[in-house]
């Protein structure tokens, strides 16, 4: 690995965590940087799950009180997320790199649209907070399959599903989202590691940058308008989609 590639990956890890702390969408940066560094699309996607995982864990720990208050539903949704994430990861491994490469621009466009619509999809604070019904459970299962297969936009999708199916305090929904994202990413990592599709050297370079970026993101969140960050992430997503369409 060249010095320039290592710097690119480190900065992508840093910016990814910083963007996640402000508005979400860091997967666009990690996936894009690793494909530009020469990793095959499936390996880049799998490695991105590992790079994002520590942030999911720390977010879930920070929300431990809210998660414990919803422990029964968290357990039910967690089991569904584990099964769905496992299915999505196995589907990814069943594809060849050319097949997945053909899907990438379409997945990026779909994820970018979901991310751009995030403010509209973000659930409003509601008073009910009732347990998710059958449609909510199915929605979470489908989201987990998508998350195990391709993680970009997964968080926004989960917030939308949880908000529509159960409502309640936003921070409790966000706590559940972070816990479920951790479960999905965790099971996907096990599958990807077993399938030998992880770029461990690339992950080792990016994770320290991500750790620093998480702290910097808190500073950014207090000073930089979220609309500006969201606009930059959407631009990156669209540029990556155009790049994959052209080079495909």
pLDDT at residue 221 in the model = 60
CA atoms within 13 A on the CB side of 227: 1
For the chain, domain boundaries? 3-247
- Identify the CA nearest to 217 among candidates 80, 84, 25: 25
Mean pLDDT by 10 residues, the chain (248 residues): 90 84 75 88 89 81 83 90 95 88 83 72 55 79 90 76 71 81 91 91 90 73 69 79 79
Q: What is the 3-state secondary structure (H, E, C) of the chain?
A: CCHHHHHHHHHHHHHHHHHHHHCCCHHHHHHHHHHHCCCCHHHHHHHHHHHHHHHHHHHHHHCHHHHHHCHHHHHHHHHHHHHHHHHHHHHHHHCCHHHHHHHHHHHHHHHHHHHHCHHHHCCCCCCCCCCCCHHHHHHHHHHHHHHHHCCCCHHHHHHHHHHHHCCCCHHHHHHHHHHHHHHHHHHHHHHHHHCCCCCHHHHHHHHHHHHHHHHHHHHHHHHCCHHHHHHHHHHHHHHHHHHHHHHC
Angstrom distances, CA of residue 193 to CA of 49, 51, 65, 190: 11, 13, 31, 5
Which pLDDT score, from 0 to 100, does residue 72 have? 87
- Taking the whole predicted model, whether its pTM rises above 0.85 is answered as no
For residues 115 and 220, what is the distance between their CA atoms, to the nearest angstrom? 19
Q: How far is CA 198 from the centre of its chain?
A: 17
């Amino acid at each position: 690995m060249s010095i320039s590639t290592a710097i690119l990956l480190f900065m992508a890890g840093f910016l990814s965590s910083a963007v996640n702390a402000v508005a979400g969408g860091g997967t666009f940066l990690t996936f894009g940087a690793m494909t530009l560094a020469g990793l095959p699309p499936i390996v880049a996607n799998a490695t991105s799950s590992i790079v994002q995982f520590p942030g999911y864990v720390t977010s879930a720990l920070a929300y431990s009180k809210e998660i414990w208050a919803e422990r029964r539903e968290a357990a039910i949704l967690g089991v569904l997320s584990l099964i769905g994430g496992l299915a999505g990861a196995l589907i990814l491994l069943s594809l060849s790199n050319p097949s997945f490469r053909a899907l990438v621009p379409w997945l990026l466009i779909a994820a970018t649209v979901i991310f751009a619509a995030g403010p509209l999809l973000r659930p409003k604070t509601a008073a009910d907070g009732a347990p998710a019904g059958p449609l909510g459970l199915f929605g979470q299962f489908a989201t987990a399959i998508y998350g195990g297969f391709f993680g970009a936009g997964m968080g926004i999708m989960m917030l939308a599903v949880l908000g529509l199916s159960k409502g309640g305090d936003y921070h409790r929904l966000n706590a559940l989202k972070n816990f479920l994202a951790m479960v999905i990413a965790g099971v996907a990592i096990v599958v990807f590691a077993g399938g030998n599709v992880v770029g461990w050297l690339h992950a080792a370079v990016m994770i320290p940058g991500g750790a620093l970026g998480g702290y910097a993101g808190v500073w950014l969140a207090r000073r930089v308008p979220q609309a500006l960050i969201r606009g930059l992430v959407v631009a990156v997503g669209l540029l990556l989609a155009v790049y994959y369409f052209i080079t495909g």
